[in-house]
Structure 1
Amino acid sequence: MTVNDDSFTNWKNREETAEAMIPIIGKLHRERDVTVLLHSRSLVNKSVVSILKTHRFARQIAGEELSVTETMPFLRALTTLDLGPSQIDIGMLAATHKADDRGLSVEEFTAQAVAGATGSNKIERSEGRDVVLYGFGRIGRLVARLLIEKAGSGNGLRLRAIVVRGGGEQDIVKRASLLRRDSIHGQFQGTITVDEANSTIVANGNAIRVIYANDPGEVDYTAYGIKNAILIDNTGKWRDRAGLSLHLRPGIDKVVLTAPGKGDVPNVVHGVNHDTVKPDERILSCASCTTNAIVPPLKAMDDEYGVLRGHVETVHSFTNDQNLLDNYHKSERRGRSAPLNMVITETGAASAVAKALPDLKARITGSSIRVPVPDVSIAILNLQLAREASREEVLDYLRDVSLTSPLRRQIDFISAPDAVSSDFIGSRHASIVDAGALKVEGDNAILYLWYDNEFGYSCQVIRVVQHVSGVEYPTFPAPAA
């Protein structure tokens, strides 16, 4: 048998194992509300090839190959346990078991590692929480996709309605089409039908009422059977407490803004300060995509090395706030053609750091350049550290943070030498550390942080909503403190 034959046989064997994983992962998700992860990446509703590629990608971050033949025993072990709602990372189970010297079997080790999700320790399955989207633009539609994706277990968050201004003939058909197809993020994974008579979009069995209103005060959500809901404002029209309070109508319990909040509105970056949100807080902001990209790695660096001062330069994709061709705009430079120019503009991300990291004493400044790409941006974080470090030390530290720390859902890590912006379309992390671009000299460190400013940010929004609605389930094995 040739080397080629050996490689192909090995591939077919791994393909068969991945095929066997799919029904196990699906059953755990539907029946027990358990989400199976691999190094923080969900394997729910993934194809055979996607499962294999996710395992292969582990080499980029963990430094060594991870095979489905290594993780499958841990997945099978999970089926023997009395599991409650949780997220379980089989990549972490395999890695920690390999490093464990107690001689435990896979079954024994798995039972101990996920003990917090079994028996008397398991939490009760949630009855679900209604969600309303106010606005249905770029972020609104991606948040909708994520909510629909996560509704598979029948618990957790339930997208009940979308509020938009009337757009004329066949409005609902056109909005459903925009949800179905996206030029950047591809086709919707599932089926979408439209019930024009009842003003409803049905996506993967989820009936979503489309409500037409020109003002928040026009809507009584209880008339649509909606109660105790989280409303996600994607318009950015209202950013202070007074304006966002207009949404607190019958049926709405909390309001989450997908833009930086003003005044005393809490700016929340999941993974960093989400646990400081008071239970009785009814209005909060998820800050900006750039704030979400820089605050987690900034916190990680400050925790380990101390940060005395810093500057962030964002090279940001263009957005709907800019013009396609030169035209009037309230901002001086954003009126110039977005697809044809690099446009110097302002960013509030640096000043927003203080809200998310109040204990950080370092002064952080920032600026931004919009560039002619439709999605994925990069933040260049230039830090003066409180102590000197080597490039290898910082790389090892950030790799470990991305794998085992409480920030592993926010910070990803890539060592591919030829990585470019389009490689990160669809990333679910708040930011991705580019190992090849990292520069460290003495007490100066420069981090290059990629981020999908649409999808990665939308994932952070969903995490915040899950947290404040009480349906954020614990992850096992627990990340290192």
Structure 2
Amino acid sequence: MTVNDDSFTNWKNREETAEAMIPIIGKLHRERDVTVLLHSRSLVNKSVVSILKTHRFARQIAGEELSVTETMPFLRALTTLDLGPSQIDIGMLAATHKADDQGLSVEEFTAQAVAGATGSNKIERSEGRDVVLYGFGRIGRLVARLLIEKAGSGNGLRLRAIVVRGGGEQDIVKRASLLRRDSIHGQFQGTITVDEANSTIVANGNAIRVIYANDPGEVDYTAYGIKNAILIDNTGKWRDRAGLSLHLRPGIDKVVLTAPGKGDVPNVVHGVNHDTVKPDERILSCASCTTNAIVPPLKAMDDEYGVLRGHVETVHSFTNDQNLLDNYHKSERRGRSAPLNMVITETGAASAVAKALPDLKARITGSSIRVPVPDVSIAILNLQLAREASREEVLDHLRDVSLTSPLRRQIDFISAPDAVSSDFIGSRHASIVDAGALKVEGDNAILYLWYDNEFGYSCQVIRVVQHVSGVEYPTFPAPAA
């Protein structure tokens, strides 16, 4: 048998194993509300090839490829346990078992590692929490996709309604079409039908009422059977407590803003300060995409080395706030054509760091350049550290953070030498450390952080909503502190 034959046979065997994984992963998700992960990447509703690629990607960060033949025994072991709602990372199970010296079998080790999700320790499945989207633009539609995707067993978050201003004839059909097809993020994964008579979009079986209103005060959500809901404001029209309080109508319990909040509105970056949100807080912000991109790695660097000062320069994709062609704009430069120019503009991300990381004493400054790409940005974080470090030491630290720390859902890591911005479209992490671009000299470190400013940010929004709604399930094995 030739090398090519060996390689192809190996591929077919792994393909067969991945095929066998799919029904197990699906059943755990539907029946027990268990989300199976591989190094923080969900395997729910993934194809055979996607499962194999996710396993291979582990090579980028862990240094060696992870095979489905290594993780399958752990997946099978999960099916024998009395599991409650949780997220279980079979990549971490395989890695920690390999390093374990107790001599436990896969079944024994798995039972021990996920004990917090079994028997008397398991949490009860929630009845679900209603969610309303106020506004249905770029972020609104991506958040909708994620909510529909995560509906899973019918527990957790349920997208019940979308509130928009009336747009004329066939408005709901056009909005459904924008949800179905996206020029950047591709086709919606599933089916969408429209019930114009009842002003409803049905996506993967989820009936979503489209409510037309020009002002929050016009809507009584209880009239649509909506109760105790979390409203996600994607318009950015209101950013202070007084304005966002207008949403606290019958049927709405909490308001989450997908833009930086002003005044005393808490700015929350999941993974960093989400656990400081008070249970009785009814209004909060998810800050900006750039704040979410820089704060987790900034915390990771400050925790290990100390940060004395820093500057962030964001090279940011253009947004809907800019003009396609030169025209009047209230900002000084954003009126110039977005697809034709690099545009220097301001960013509030640096000043927002203090809200998310109040213990950080370093002064962080920032500026931004908008460039002619429609999605994915890069933040260049230039830091003066409290002690000297080597490039290899910083790389190892950030790689470990991306794999095993509580920030592993926020920080990703890539060592591909030819990576470019379009490679990160659809990334679910808040930021991705580019290992090849990292610069370290003495007490100075310069981090290059890619981020999908649309989808990655939307994932952070969903994580915050899950947390404040009480349906953010624990992850096992527990990440290292």
- The normalised TM-score by structure 1 is 1.00
> Deviations 1:157-212 (Å, cap 9, x if unpaired)?
00000000000000000000000000000000000000000000000000000000
> Deviations 1:348-390 (Å, cap 9, x if unpaired)?
0000000000000000000000000000000000000000000
Deviation of 1:393 (Å): 0.2
Where 1:311 maps in the other structure, the secondary structure is: strand
> Deviations 1:16-59 (Å, cap 9, x if unpaired)?
00000000000000000000000000000000000000000000
What is the rounded CA distance, in whole Å, between the counterparts of 1:120 and 1:217 in structure 2? 45
What is the rounded CA distance, in whole Å, between the counterparts of 1:91 and 1:227 in structure 2? 38
What is the rounded CA distance, in whole Å, between the counterparts of 2:386 and 2:311 in structure 1? 15
What is the rounded CA distance, in whole Å, between the counterparts of 2:159 and 2:134 in structure 1? 11
Where 1:5 maps in the other structure, the secondary structure is: helix
What is the rounded CA distance, in whole Å, between the counterparts of 1:379 and 1:330 in structure 2? 25
Deviation of 1:152 (Å): 1.2
What is the rounded CA distance, in whole Å, between the counterparts of 2:425 and 2:91 in structure 1? 23
**Structure 2 residue 115 is the aligned partner of structure 1 residue 115:** yes
Aligned match of 2:330: 330
Q: Where do 5+ consecutive residues of structure 2 fail to align?
A: none
% identity of equivalent residues: 100
What is the rounded CA distance, in whole Å, between the counterparts of 2:335 and 2:153 in structure 1? 45
> Deviations 1:406-458 (Å, cap 9, x if unpaired)?
00000000000000000000000000000000000000000000000000000
Deviation of 1:316 (Å): 0.1
What is the rounded CA distance, in whole Å, between the counterparts of 1:413 and 1:254 in structure 2? 34
> Deviations 1:264-284 (Å, cap 9, x if unpaired)?
000000000000000000000
Where 1:109 maps in the other structure, the secondary structure is: helix
What is the rounded CA distance, in whole Å, between the counterparts of 2:96 and 2:469 in structure 1? 31
Deviation of 1:243 (Å): 0.2
> Deviations 1:230-268 (Å, cap 9, x if unpaired)?
000000000000000000000000000000000000000
Deviation of 1:332 (Å): 1.0
Aligned match of 2:174: 174
What is the rounded CA distance, in whole Å, between the counterparts of 2:148 and 2:459 in structure 1? 13
Aligned match of 1:440: 440
List aligned pairs for 1:129-140, cutoff 5 A.
Answer: 129-140=129-140
Deviation of 1:102 (Å): 1.0
Aligned match of 2:378: 378
- The normalised TM-score by structure 2 is 1.00
Deviation of 1:292 (Å): 0.1
Where 1:17 maps in the other structure, the secondary structure is: helix
> Deviations 1:46-76 (Å, cap 9, x if unpaired)?
0000000000000001001100000000000
What is the rounded CA distance, in whole Å, between the counterparts of 1:432 and 1:408 in structure 2? 11
Deviation of 1:119 (Å): 0.2
Where 2:382 maps in the other structure, the secondary structure is: strand
Aligned match of 2:210: 210
What is the rounded CA distance, in whole Å, between the counterparts of 1:301 and 1:323 in structure 2? 37
What is the rounded CA distance, in whole Å, between the counterparts of 2:169 and 2:230 in structure 1? 29
Deviation of 1:136 (Å): 0.0
What is the rounded CA distance, in whole Å, between the counterparts of 1:6 and 1:405 in structure 2? 37
What is the rounded CA distance, in whole Å, between the counterparts of 2:406 and 2:469 in structure 1? 20
What is the rounded CA distance, in whole Å, between the counterparts of 1:290 and 1:128 in structure 2? 30
What is the rounded CA distance, in whole Å, between the counterparts of 1:169 and 1:55 in structure 2? 47
List aligned pairs for 1:329-348, cutoff 5 A.
Answer: 329-348=329-348
Where 2:187 maps in the other structure, the secondary structure is: coil
What is the rounded CA distance, in whole Å, between the counterparts of 1:152 and 1:86 in structure 2? 13
What is the rounded CA distance, in whole Å, between the counterparts of 1:152 and 1:383 in structure 2? 42
Deviation of 1:398 (Å): 0.2
Aligned match of 1:91: 91
What is the rounded CA distance, in whole Å, between the counterparts of 1:434 and 1:106 in structure 2? 34
Deviation of 1:395 (Å): 0.2
> Deviations 1:80-129 (Å, cap 9, x if unpaired)?
00000000000000000000011100000000000000000000001000
Aligned match of 1:55: 55
Where 1:36 maps in the other structure, the secondary structure is: strand
What is the rounded CA distance, in whole Å, between the counterparts of 2:153 and 2:391 in structure 1? 44
What is the rounded CA distance, in whole Å, between the counterparts of 1:243 and 1:335 in structure 2? 27
Deviation of 1:153 (Å): 1.2
What is the rounded CA distance, in whole Å, between the counterparts of 1:290 and 1:135 in structure 2? 21
List aligned pairs for 1:470-481, cutoff 5 A.
Answer: 470-481=470-481
Where 2:168 maps in the other structure, the secondary structure is: coil
What is the rounded CA distance, in whole Å, between the counterparts of 2:126 and 2:440 in structure 1? 46
Aligned match of 2:285: 285
What is the rounded CA distance, in whole Å, between the counterparts of 1:304 and 1:319 in structure 2? 35
> Deviations 1:308-361 (Å, cap 9, x if unpaired)?
000000000000000000000000100000000000000000000000000000
What is the rounded CA distance, in whole Å, between the counterparts of 2:440 and 2:107 in structure 1? 43
Where 2:186 maps in the other structure, the secondary structure is: coil
Where 2:395 maps in the other structure, the secondary structure is: helix
Deviation of 1:140 (Å): 0.1
Deviation of 1:221 (Å): 0.1
What is the rounded CA distance, in whole Å, between the counterparts of 2:310 and 2:171 in structure 1? 47
Where 1:55 maps in the other structure, the secondary structure is: helix
Where 1:190 maps in the other structure, the secondary structure is: coil
Q: Where do 5+ consecutive residues of structure 1 fail to align?
A: none
Where 1:436 maps in the other structure, the secondary structure is: helix
Tell me the C-alpha RMSD between the 2 structures: 0.2
Where 1:72 maps in the other structure, the secondary structure is: helix
Where 1:428 maps in the other structure, the secondary structure is: coil
